[in-house]
Structure 1
Amino acid sequence: MSRRASILAPGNPGHPFRRSLPRHVCRSVKPPAIEAAENARAKAAWQMTGGDWRSFLSAYCTALVAAVTFIA
């Protein structure tokens, strides 16, 4: 019986789905400067502005009033 390593090497993905992916998809080593820039762009893209909050609260209050109206 052969022994298998408990930690898989990055170049040798063990799951069948990961083996079916192209090699560049499983590669995740990026320089810290590029990683930080990508994180900053993602954070800016996902921040909610005042208009977003107002739209969310408007939709929430409208749905709440509609639900209470149909229940009562």
Structure 2
Amino acid sequence: MRRALVLSSETARHWFRASLPQRRVAFADIPATEPVSWKLTADDVRGVATTYLATVAAVLAFIV
């Protein structure tokens, strides 16, 4: 039996995916004109520095 790799129509879906409920978009209620604020805080810098130093310490502990 030879099957095509590309589906010829959207109705020929997998049986499991067809049994799942329709997916809803969670961010549809948020207006697109609202600006997004990406501010770097001291807690962010402290978290990155702590993670970096812990990783370096762990690598050095395994090497030595």
Q: Relative contact order (C-alpha < 8 Å, sep 6+): which is higher?
A: 1
TM-score, normalization: structure 2? 0.46
From the two aligned structures, give the one with the greater helix fraction: 1
TM-score, normalization: structure 1? 0.43
